[in-house]
Amino acid sequence: MKKSDAPLLMITAGGTGGHIYPAQALIEELLNRNWRVRVLTDVRGVEYFRQLEGQVELSIISSASLNGSNIIKKITALLKLLVGTCVSGFFMLKERPKMIVGFGGYPAFPGMLAATLLKIPILIHEQNGVLGKVNQFFARRASVLACGVWPTKLPNNVNGVDCGIPVREDVLALRNSPYIPPGDYPLSILVLGGSQASKILSEVVPSALALLPVRILKHLRVAHQARDEDQKTVEEFYQKSGINADVKPFFIDISRRINEAQLIISRAGASTIAEISIIGRPSILVPLKVAVRDEQTKNASSLVQAKAAIIISEDELTSLKLKERIYELIRKPTKASKMAQAAYANSKPDASKKLLELVESLSTNTKEESFSAK
């Protein structure tokens, strides 16, 4: 089949890793099945997709958040969303996609609205246990709503499909990798704050680790994701504490680092939890407090209930409490191993293929007459 004859699918996703990583995983499956893909995203989001440049078509779409009370900013945001919707609609009228798959985030709004106006079939994938604002807005307009966390809280009369969260091929390649529990050898701890990093983890984790016994600090290796503005401070603290640490705003080789970790300390973003589960590693999770719908606590609940993770709320997070939780797992390697096994048992490694099946099932029922303008 010529590339120009292949069916076209449009994907729209917000500018953070939590929305984009599952989209990347679906794209990998689509390319293996000879689909053409156009991605509609924002300036931040396009950077995540650069590695797929040449395999997919990337389009930067104007978008903005409507959060806040400033009237001028709201009007500006509405204008940006209007422009983004018009540009998205132009691509749709020109290229006639079979359907559009939305992964949430404000940058997904223009593409979803254009598809709604043009009566193009919509498939939504919600990563969290509670619908985000954009996915909530379009939930009743979607042909299919795939849920990454089950059960997901949905609007009345809206049915979801238990799908799981697609993870990328480099993560799947390490599924259920052998776990090396803590012992008298180099101990690897990975600290993840989500795609935007986390200030509170950068404040609390280093000081918690510094409280560990010297015999542990001597062979401790830390990989810590910190914000740009926090990186230098975090690095200097680790150096003064005699802790071997690699501090970066973003880790390109995240799958390798998860695989090598004896313990992960992380936010409870849905994609991060999916990757931790697929590879099978114990974790201490600190849900994002400012999340309006408290979706990260919901995300973490399945791992906590499976005894694969320990949860600490931001309000309860202190250096001493975190140190005690870390030290407990170091002193009890059998418990750490059981947590790793429970994490993998809680994973859904076939989520990408399930989502692909939903896409292909919906596309077979798509007709050219779906377009209201020709």
pLDDT over 80 at 370, yes or no = no
DSSP conformational letter for 130: B
pLDDT at 291: 63
Q: Is pLDDT of 15 > 90?
A: no
- DSSP codes of every residue in 42-62: -HHHHHHTGGGBTTBEEEE--
More confident residue, 194 or 282: 282
Cα 22 to chain centroid, rounded = 7
C-alpha 149: how far from chain center: 12
Instruction: Report helix, strand or coil for 309.
Output: strand
- Write the DSSP assignment of 146-186 as a string of letters: EESSSS-B--TT---EE------HHHHTTTTPPP--S-SS-
> What average pLDDT does range 177-188 have in this prediction?
95
More confident residue, 8 or 370: 8
The domain segmentation of the chain, as residue ranges, is 3-167+350-370, 172-345
CA distances from 290 to 278, 287, 297 (A): 27, 9, 11
- The H-assigned helical ranges of the chain are 17-32, 43-48, 71-95, 109-117, 133-138, 169-172, 199-210, 214-217, 228-240, 254-260, 270-279, 295-305, 319-331, 333-345, 351-364
- Closest C-alpha among 302, 305, 190 to residue 257: 190
The answer to whether the predicted template modeling score (pTM) of the entire model surpasses 0.75 is yes
Pair 166, 27: CB distance under 8 Å: no
Mean pLDDT of 131-144: 96
* Alpha carbons 250 and 340: distance in angstroms, whole number: 24
Place of tokens 């997070």: 317
pLDDT over 90 at 198, yes or no: no
| pLDDT value of position 374 | 36
pLDDT above 70 (res 173): yes
- CA 213 – CA 242 distance, rounded (Å): 12
d(CA 273, CA 268): 6
* Residue 58: per-residue pLDDT: 96
Residue 372 has pLDDT above 70, yes or no: no
What pLDDT does residue 66 have? 84
Angle at 231 between CA 249 and CA 263, to 5 degrees: 65
For 172-345, CATH number out of 3.30.1490.20, 3.40.50.2000, 3.40.50.1220, 3.30.200.20 equals 3.40.50.2000
Which strand ranges, in their side-by-side order, compose the sheet holding 187-192?
Answer: 244-248, 220-225, 187-192, 263-266, 283-285, 309-311
- Is 264:325 a contact under the CB 8 Å cutoff? no
Q: What is the pLDDT of residue 323?
A: 99
Token pair listed for 214: 């010297």
3-167+350-370 belongs to CATH 3.40.50.2000: yes
Cα–Cα dist 336/174, whole Å: 19
Q: pLDDT tens, 294-345?
A: 889 999 999 999 999 999 999 999 999 999 999 999 999 999 999 999 999 9
pLDDT grade for 196, boundaries at 50, 70 and 90? low
Q: Do domains 3-167+350-370 and 172-345 have the same CATH topology?
A: yes
Average pLDDT over residues 27-56: 94
Q: What is the pLDDT of residues 87-120, one digit of tens each?
A: 999 999 999 999 999 999 999 999 999 999 999 9
The reported pLDDT for the residue numbered 3 is 63
Q: Using alpha carbons, select from 174, 186, 171, 195 the residue that is nearest to residue 19.
A: 195
Spatial separation of the C-alpha atoms in residues 64 and 81, rounded to whole Å: 6
Q: How many other C-beta atoms lie within 10 A of the C-beta of residue 333?
A: 15
Of the pLDDT bands very low, low, confident and very high (cuts 50, 70, 90), residue 366 is: low
CB 42 within 8 A of CB 35: no
DSSP-assigned beta bridge partners for residue 58:
39
pLDDT band, very low/low/confident/very high, at 131 (cuts 50, 70, 90): very high
Say yes or no to pLDDT of 368 above 50: no
- Starting at the edge strand found earlier in the chain, the sheet holding 144-147 runs 57-60, 36-41, 8-12, 99-102, 122-126, 144-147, 161-162
Q: With 0-12 CB in 10 A as exposed, 13-18 as middle and 19+ as buried, what is 327?
A: middle
Please state, for a pLDDT cut of 90, what percent of the chain lies above it. 84
